[in-house]
Structure 1
């Protein structure tokens, strides 16, 4: 019989970005950090860090996406251009194999 991992705590459960944004907006409007954190069920330090990051750079990428973004080998636009080029060659029956593309 297979074993399945059953989570025993609710630690490290990520809060959805839209909930974090709404909570941060409430703090910016004037509500206290602790009351907003308690109302939304978010840790107050997590909310504080999110607000500080958003204050420094409104377009900042948060969460694990920031780590993935830092590890890109080529820029996103160049990757899209390369993909489109390979698709165009495949449509012309050029016959590119996976090893040739890589």
Structure 2
């Protein structure tokens, strides 16, 4: 339920509520549904980006990378690449450049 609610809050621009729901969904899905946990990890990153909490957003997205690799899921990878596209307004940030480089090297491995 938290996963769906989080996406709805995000669409409504309620990023704080979206982040809370996404984090709760990650905790709920972590052990039994890793693919859902990974999606919600990225959703949390997107919510924090909507709150202009760049460092927090990058932390959540970075944590989703190993999950995406382990899942070998095109959709999981697409979620991360979609997040990267949303980083364009922050492209001058060193942290963003480092994240993009890290993601590129991890997904290529």
TM-score, with structure 1 as normaliser? 0.25
If you compute each CA radius of gyration, which structure gives the higher value, 1 or 2? 1
TM-score, with structure 2 as normaliser? 0.24
Which protein, 1 or 2, shows the higher relative CO under an 8 Å CA cutoff with sep ≥ 6?
2
